[in-house]
């Protein structure tokens, strides 16, 4: 990694990403190295753009017990696949397992990201993640529908805080649907907590986040009492 010495070397990071070899498909060779651009990360999974194929992949990261992911959107990370990448989850066909914690190399901000987002945005060809409602039984999944969607909201998004349980929710419109998702984006949760308000939208939300949110990264959770739930893993700018 002679391209850069630290996170502040933006020019070197752009060169590093630009010179990575391109591939038509994701390399799923066990023990191989993958470079990803983080879109959203929780203790459950880390969603990245594979910088070689430009496909969206979900990493199962072996975080220490009770730890919280410290990865942020637009981090460039290096991950080494496990010997058994466990491509057997019928609810999360994009998920693969890492053998160890990923290594953060820096952050990447470039106009190229806008093009990637436009190409990866989920088309309106059916309900979000392939089914209606907030959840579905795990036993109904057959690995034929995605577990992640990059949504270009056509209304909102709005961030809401529920006083009764302290949970944070994201509400947005998408091709006629009024969608409500539990929010797992730590940056967004901290932002609304700092304002001490129960709702943020428009300019107020952009000010709190530090950017205008244009995309909602939606992922499917691991089974909870037998059901997989839709959640918002990240609010993202245009690029």
Looking at 1-10, 18-27, 148-157, 159-168, which range is the least confident one? 1-10
Among 5-19, 72-86, 214-228, which is the least confidently predicted range?
5-19
Looking at every residue in the chain, the average pLDDT score rounds to 94
Helix (H, G, I), strand (E, B) or coil at 87: coil
Give the tokens for residue 81. Answer: 């696949």
- pTM, full prediction: 0.94
Answer yes or no: are the C-beta atoms of 183 and 168 closer than 8 Å. yes
Residue with tokens 């806008």, as numbered in its chain: 114
Q: Determine the average pLDDT of the residues in 43-63.
A: 97
Tens of pLDDT, residues 156-182: 999 999 999 999 999 999 988 999 999
Give the percent of the chain with pLDDT over 90: 90
- pLDDT band of residue 124 (cuts 50, 70, 90) is confident
Beta strands in 81-196 (DSSP E): 95-97, 103-107, 135-137, 148-152, 155-161, 168-174, 177-183
Band (pLDDT 50/70/90 cuts) for residue 1 is very low
pLDDT at 125: 83
Residue 220: closest CA among 82, 122, 108: 122
What pLDDT does residue 9 have?
79
Domain segments of the chain: what residues? 10-109, 113-236
Task: Tell me the two tokens of residue 193.
Answer: 């907590």
Tokens of 48: 């990245």
- Percentage of the residues of the chain whose pLDDT score is greater than 70: 97
Whether 6 shows a pLDDT value over 60: the answer reads no
Model confidence at 2, in pLDDT bands (50, 70, 90)? very low
Task: Dump pLDDT digits (tens) for 172-224.
Answer: 999 889 999 999 999 999 999 999 999 999 999 999 999 999 999 999 999 99
How would you classify the pairing of strands 56-60 and 46-50? antiparallel
CB of 60 closer than 8 Å to CB of 97: yes
10-109 under CATH 1.10.1060, yes or no: no
pLDDT band at 10 (very low <50, low <70, confident <90, very high): confident
5: pLDDT confidence band, cut at 50, 70 and 90? very low
Q: What angle do CA 120, 126, 130 make, to 5 degrees?
A: 80
């Amino acid at each position: 990694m002679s391209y850069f010495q630290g996170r502040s070397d933006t020019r070197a990071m752009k060169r590093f990403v630009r010179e990575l070899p391109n591939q038509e498909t994701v390399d799923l060779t066990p023990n191989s190295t993958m470079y990803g651009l983080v879109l959203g990360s929780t203790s459950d999974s880390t969603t990245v753009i594979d910088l070689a194929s430009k496909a969206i992949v979900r990493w199962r990261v072996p975080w220490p017990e009770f730890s919280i992911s410290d990865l942020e959107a637009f981090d460039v990370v290096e991950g080494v696949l496990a010997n058994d990448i466990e491509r057997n989850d019928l609810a999360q066909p994009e998920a693969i397992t890492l053998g160890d914690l990923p290594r953060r190399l820096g952050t990447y901000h470039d106009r190229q990201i806008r093009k990637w987002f436009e190409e990866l945005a989920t088309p309106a060809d059916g309900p979000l993640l392939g089914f209606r409602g907030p959840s579905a039984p795990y036993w109904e999944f057959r690995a034929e529908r995605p577990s992640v969607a990059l949504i270009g909201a056509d209304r909102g998004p709005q961030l809401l805080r529920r006083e009764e349980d302290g949970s944070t929710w994201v509400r947005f419109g998408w091709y006629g649907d009024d969608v409500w998702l539990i929010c797992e984006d730590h940056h967004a949760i901290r932002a609304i907590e700092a304002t001490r308000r129960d709702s943020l939208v428009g300019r107020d939300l952009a000010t709190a986040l530090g950017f205008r949110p244009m995309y909602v990264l939606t992922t499917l959770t691991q089974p909870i009492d037998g059901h997989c739930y839709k959640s918002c893993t990240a609010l993202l700018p245009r690029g």
